[in-house]
Amino acid sequence: MRLSDCHSFHDFRRMAQARLPGPIFDYIDGAADDEVTYRRNTAAFETCQLVPNVLRGVGEIDMSVTVMGQKLAMPVYCSPTALQRLFHHEGERAVAAAAGKHGTMFGVSSLGTVSLEEARRISSGPQVYQFYFHKDRGLNRAMMERAKQAGIEVMMLTVDSITGGNRERDKRTGFSIPFRLTLAGMMQFAVKPAWAINYLTHEGFKLPQLDGHVDMGGGALSISRYFTEMLDPCLSWDDVAAMVREWGGQFCLKGVMSVDDAKRAVEIGCTGIVLSNHGGRQLDGSCSAFDQLAEIVDAVGDRIDVIMDGGVQRGTHVLKALSLGAKAVGLGRYYLFPLAAAGQPGVERALDLMRSEIERDMRLMGCASIDQLTRSNLRFV
């Protein structure tokens, strides 16, 4: 399968599956428990239909948005995700470059495999730092100061991961960092030697944001143990309020799903919230971000920027979210599969396709700019 044969999310997913060893593909593709929420994230969009208007004289399309003070050329951004150089040796470098080329925002995770500083050098576009709150308060302060020095525009605190989700696909293969694979997991690596050659002939795997804080090679610290042992399960609203004051800039909470929590985010001074269930990877059986979007926009949308992610695979999904009041939409697996399949050219092609879909769909909807998308364009079934 060639990159030019990829025309949709599902094509990229198939290409990535053909290239990656099973444990790594399952790490991207998998979710918690029975993966009900993972499936719901995309299925939720099917409960909503678009109602187009015709003969509106749509000429130039302006799909730009401003979110948390950042001007984006398109209403989607590349959400921060962990361990990207496991999927392809370019990792966050590819994503930063592709996002910069498309004039949109991207993020680097605390579990990122390229440093904040290097990603900043690659792209001059808006950069988010996805922050996990650690038990070690000194570590938290040091990481925030480093982000300021690196020129990060938006601090994004993930609040739905105080403990790791029950990701059973990873348990079956023994996927962890460093690798502690089961026999079945090792066999799946053996049948994909091209990935292993690629991995072994490039620079060693590391987690630059945690350098000096976490020994990922000397022990058997898996990602699930990182969440369980290093992150603070007692994280409270008072802790977050202190972070917001210390950061003193654009501050976003990722993982908000209730109206009450959205209101609290406004009260403590956050400038944005991301409605997200972590791609279905945490609490299985929870609702989708799209399910919650209208209610939360109605409650706080005039006081804080409401963003959403989860299950977005098409331009029409983006238009439905924007019509309900989202300021922008985050992409995760949508760019991770193209990254795994083909590196930077894959991410660029995926973003090209998304841009083309959004532009075409806006024309078909009779909308020349994002602000013309309203709930009058939607019907729920």
Interval 71-108: pLDDT, tens: 999 999 999 999 999 899 999 999 999 999 999 999 99
Distance CA 378, CA 3 (A): 34
- Residue 262's H or E segment, with its range, is helix 259-267
Pinpoint the alpha helices (H) of 274-325.
289-300, 315-324
Residue 64 has a pLDDT of 97
Distance CA 377, CA 53 (A): 8
Active site residue 278: yes
Positive or negative CA dihedral for 261, 265, 266, 271?
Answer: negative
Q: pLDDT band for 13, please (50, 70, 90 cuts).
A: very high
For the beta carbon of residue 349, count every other beta carbon within 10 angstroms: 20
pLDDT, tens digit, for every residue of 319-376?
999 999 999 999 999 999 999 999 999 999 999 999 999 999 999 999 999 999 999 9
Q: Supply 180's token pair.
A: 């502690």
Q: Which of 88, 134, 278, 317 is catalytic?
A: 278
Rounded to a whole number of angstroms, the distance between the first and last alpha carbons of the chain is: 37
Q: Point out which residues pair with 29 in neighbouring strands.
A: none
Residue 20 has a pLDDT of 93
What is the rounded average pLDDT for all residues in the chain? Answer: 91
Residue 233 has a pLDDT of 85
Distance CA 307, CA 293 (A): 9
